[in-house]
């Protein structure tokens, strides 16, 4: 006996035709509708089962269209070449950095004072207070580094 080749695969099977369905028994139609997941009552006639199978086959052959319209503009944007962009390096001097840090320190201090004055503090308020304290410490360290020239 010949061994099957490595390229062996199952043959492609087409959907049954109308004539095939008409030649099948009621049991075969019932089995096929169960295999395909078509829900029909047990006592349905042969013709009803044939129509249900035909409808199922037609839906499977039809391409599935997306529910939402396909956007064309993003695809066009990807195809078009992008303009050349030059990287601009923004350098701030130490005075500008110190000004920014001072404003951030002021904001955090005001927020901290506001949270401390709140009469009934919950867990979120306590977490916010801890975050403000951490931010203030970070900003002060940054200020010292700038002053030292690092």
pLDDT in tens, the chain (150 residues): 455 555 555 555 566 777 888 888 888 888 888 888 888 777 778 888 888 888 888 777 666 665 655 555 555 555 555 666 666 565 677 788 888 889 999 999 998 898 888 888 888 888 888 998 999 999 888 888 888 876
Q: Per the confidence metrics, is the pTM higher than 0.75? A: no
Q: What is the pLDDT of residue 1?
A: 46
Is residue 43 included in any domain, yes or no?
Answer: yes
**b/e 107-116 (16+ beta carbons within 10 angstroms → b):** ebeebbeebe
Any domain includes 12: no
Domain membership flag for residue 86: no
Residue 127 lies in a domain: yes
Whether residue 99 lies inside any domain: the answer is yes
Specify if 4 maps to a domain. no
Give the per-residue pLDDT at 109: 92
Q: Are residues 98 and 144 in the same domain?
A: yes
The CA-based angle 72-75-79, given to 5 degrees, is 135
Judge whether 44 lies within some domain. Answer: yes
Q: What domain range includes position 120?
A: 94-148
First to last CA, the chain: 83
Residue 16, pLDDT score: 74
Q: At what angle do helices 123-148 and 94-117 cross, to 10 degrees?
A: 160
């Amino acid at each position: 006996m010949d061994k099957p080749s490595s390229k062996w695969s199952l043959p492609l099977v087409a959907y049954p035709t109308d004539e095939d369905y008409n030649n099948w028994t009621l049991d075969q139609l019932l089995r096929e509708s169960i295999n395909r997941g078509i829900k029909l009552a047990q006592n349905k006639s042969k013709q009803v089962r044939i129509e249900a199978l035909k409808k199922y086959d037609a839906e499977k052959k039809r391409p599935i269209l997306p529910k939402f319209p396909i956007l064309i503009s993003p695809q066009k944007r990807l195809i078009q070449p992008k303009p050349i962009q030059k990287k601009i390096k923004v350098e701030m001097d130490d005075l500008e950095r110190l000004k920014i840090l001072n404003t951030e320190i002021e904001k955090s201090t005001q927020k901290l004072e506001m949270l401390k004055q709140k009469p009934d503090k919950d867990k979120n308020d306590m977490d916010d207070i801890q975050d403000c304290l951490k931010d203030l410490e970070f900003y002060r360290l940054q200020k010292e580094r700038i002053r030292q020239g690092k």
